[in-house]
């Protein structure tokens, strides 16, 4: 019987606020005593109180799922240490505890600091009361061609799925599942004793003989069937990447299913780590052919919302909502009504930046609508210079609507490419979405007032573009679109944001956003973006 299968390990995980004890604190500690043959290990997990000078960075909260509100239930380090030492005492007398972690190089200094809180970091005399075995190191030796050997990639590679792996307890469970997969693979190689494992890990690669070239690195190893993905059709459609249990990991669209899917499985250099983590877990593929690339893009959006795949980032619901403004832009709501007809907009948009500027002017202080701290006097002088550059506009007006109209005038003056037929003072139907990229200012730059002139122009121009875009989105709600794709005529009809079989009518009621939401907004945004790919001569909207 395999010793490695039956041997109990102290499986550990640390969540921290930094990369090492000198710059971060232990935030959460999880552990379990289990062997590879244990089915459901009992897991203990404790949040630790941060010291008075400790803090929880926002980025750490995103990665760990631990927020300030959670720390109200945190324990003192003494309480957690006492419980942990009781766990160590539960090992049989004379048995040397063996710790198991997925990345021992990171975990070791924090465990050392945790168990020796009164000692300074780096003292040579400090040791752990147990040895540490690293599953990442073993997997690197055992599976050199797995695309990703991080904890999520390996858990999926071994066919397990435990949801979002963030908290210490989830990491402990994932490490146990990885250990089960490793033990099974080692057993196939005849490695069943701890001494055999140590010998395996200490094996050095064979030395090259004089004049012998280093062998080419082998290709990645994938779980998904190669013949299946190579046999995919060269048709447009969507593809779903599936874990061993059938759960959907990722949904994507393609103009050629075969080319797009197989692009994930080519080459090794310069690959995106997140994509490698994904494809390490893919055991199967499911595809849906569509009549056109446009239909594939629309279906992708709907399927992402329906399935909520963990590796999709955009087009999810994620508590997103729309905004609709009143005609004077003084108020807004999240659902269009008679008093708030102008929209839709996403929650963060450039129209709101102009509103903030005007509201600041009413209080005698220009609002900072940029993503960098800027002193008030620099902001005010920068806006004065912006206003002096465009004396034909009455920026002293405190009407939000008037300022937005000046955005359209600036759009013309600065010769930004736009649909000339839509240049007009914003009407009751106007609204839209905004990509805020052009408003960003480099954090490293120390700004002078003159640096802000162009940035204020961007704010006003982007607001105008957003209003124009919203008008186009509203027009597309109920429309018929005709275009050519690969030399073939294509046509789709929409009614209130949904694809329909009959030609959509032009009634204003069907171009209202009342009762519609983020799914319809995304669908129309995709439609607008996809149509922009086609030549204006081959696309017609009615």
The predicted-structure confidence for 180-212, as pLDDT tens digits, reads as follows 999 999 999 999 999 999 999 998 877 877 777
Least confident range from 159-173, 242-256, 387-401, 409-423: namely 409-423
Classify burial at 92, counting beta carbons within 10 Å of its beta carbon; exposed 0-12, middle 13-18, buried 19 or more: exposed
Q: Which residues pair with 322 in a beta bridge?
A: 346
pLDDT tens readout for residues 94-143: 566 899 999 999 999 999 999 886 545 444 456 888 889 999 999 999 99
Q: Is the pLDDT of residue 424 over 60?
A: no
Sheet holding 342-346, edge to edge: 332-333, 322-325, 342-346
The three-state DSSP-derived secondary structure of 155-208 is HHHCCCCCCCCCCHHHHHHHHHHHHHHHHHHHHHCCCCCHHHHHHHHHCCCCCC
Q: Which residues pair with 480 in a beta bridge?
A: 493
Please answer whether residues 126 and 112 qualify as being in contact, where contact means their C-beta atoms are separated by less than 8 angstroms: yes
DSSP secondary structure letters along 266-318: S--TT--HHHHHHHTT--EEEEEE-SSHHHHHHHHHHHHHHH--TT--SS--T
SS3 507: coil
SS3 444: coil
- The CB-side HSE value for 506 (13 A sphere, CA atoms) comes to 3
Phi and psi based region of residue 415 (left: phi greater than 0; alpha: psi -120 to 50; beta: remaining): left
pLDDT tens readout for residues 41-91: 999 999 999 998 889 999 999 999 999 999 999 999 999 999 999 998 887
Domain boundaries, the chain: 3-202, 226-307, 322-471, 477-541
From the options 2.40.420.20, 3.30.420.10, 3.20.20.70, 3.40.50.620, give the CATH code of 3-202: 3.30.420.10
CA distance 532 to 530: 5
CA distance 344 to 340: 10
Please answer whether residues 293 and 485 qualify as being in contact, where contact means their C-beta atoms are separated by less than 8 angstroms: yes
- The CB-side HSE value for 452 (13 A sphere, CA atoms) comes to 27
pTM: 0.84
Please answer whether residues 34 and 59 qualify as being in contact, where contact means their C-beta atoms are separated by less than 8 angstroms: no
DSSP 386: H
CA distance 506 to 494: 11
From the options 3.30.365.10, 3.40.1440.10, 1.10.3720.10, 3.40.50.720, give the CATH code of 226-307: 3.40.1440.10
Identify the pLDDT of residue 97: 80
Give the chain's mean pLDDT.
87
């Amino acid at each position: 019987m395999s010793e490695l299968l039956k041997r109990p390990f102290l499986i550990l995980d640390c969540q921290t606020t930094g990369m090492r004890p000198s710059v971060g604190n232990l935030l959460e500690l999880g552990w379990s005593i289990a062997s590879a043959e244990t089915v459901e290990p009992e897991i203990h997990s404790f949040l630790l109180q941060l010291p008075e000078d400790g803090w929880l960075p926002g980025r750490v909260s995103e990665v760990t799922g631990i927020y300030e509100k959670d720390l109200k239930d945190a324990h003192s380090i003494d309480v957690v240490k006492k419980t942990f030492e009781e766990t160590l005492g539960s090992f049989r007398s004379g048995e040397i505890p063996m710790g198991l972690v997925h990345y021992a190089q990171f975990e070791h200094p924090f465990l050392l600091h945790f168990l020796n809180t009164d000692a300074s970091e780096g003292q040579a005399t400090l040791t752990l009361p147990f040895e540490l075995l690293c599953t990442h190191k073993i997997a690197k030796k055992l599976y050199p061609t797995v695309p990703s050997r991080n904890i999520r990639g390996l858990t999926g590679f071994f066919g397990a799925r435990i949801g979002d792996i963030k908290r210490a307890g989830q990491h402990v469970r994932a490490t146990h599942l990885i250990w089960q997969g490793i033990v099974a693979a080692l057993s196939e190689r005849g490695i069943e004793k701890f001494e055999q494992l140590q010998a395996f890990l200490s094996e050095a690669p064979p030395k090259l003989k004089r004049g012998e070239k280093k062998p080419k690195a082998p290709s990645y190893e994938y779980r998904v069937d190669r013949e299946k993905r190579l046999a995919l059709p060269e048709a447009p459609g969507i593809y779903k990447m599936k874990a061993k249990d059938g759960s959907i990991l990722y949904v994507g669209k393609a103009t050629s299913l075969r080319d797009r899917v197989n692009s994930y499985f080519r080459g090794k250099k310069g690959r995106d780590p997140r994509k490698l983590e994904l494809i390490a877990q893919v055991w199967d593929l499911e595809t849906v052919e569509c009549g056109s690339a446009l239909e594939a893009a629309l279906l992708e959006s709907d399927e992402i919302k329906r399935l909520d795949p963990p590796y999709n980032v955009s087009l999810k619901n994620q508590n997103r909502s729309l905004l609709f403004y009143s005609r004077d832009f003084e108020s807004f709501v999240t659902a269009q009504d008679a008093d708030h007809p102008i929209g839709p907009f996403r929650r963060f948009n450039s129209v709101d930046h102009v509103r903030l500027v005007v509201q600041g002017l009413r209080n005698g202080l220009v609002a900072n609508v940029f993503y960098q701290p800027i002193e008030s006097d620099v902001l005010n002088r920068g806006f004065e210079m912006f206003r002096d550059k465009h004396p034909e506009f009455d920026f002293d007006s405190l009407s939000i609507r008037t300022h937005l109209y000046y955005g359209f005038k600036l759009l013309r003056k600065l010769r930004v490419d736009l649909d000339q037929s839509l240049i007009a003072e914003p009407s009751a139907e106007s609204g839209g979405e905004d990509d805020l990229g052009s408003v960003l200012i480099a954090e490293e730059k120390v700004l002078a007032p003159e640096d802000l002139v162009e940035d204020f122009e961007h704010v006003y121009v982007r607001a105008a573009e957003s209003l124009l875009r919203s008008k186009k989105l509203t027009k597309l709600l109920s429309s018929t679109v005709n275009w050519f794709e690969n030399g073939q005529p294509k046509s789709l009809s929409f009614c209130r944001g949904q694809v329909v079989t009959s030609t959509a009518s032009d009634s204003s009621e069907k171009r209202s956003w009342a009762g519609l939401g983020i799914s319809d907004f995304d669908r129309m945004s995709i439609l607008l973006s996809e149509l922009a790919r086609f030549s204006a001569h081959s696309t017609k909207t009615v």
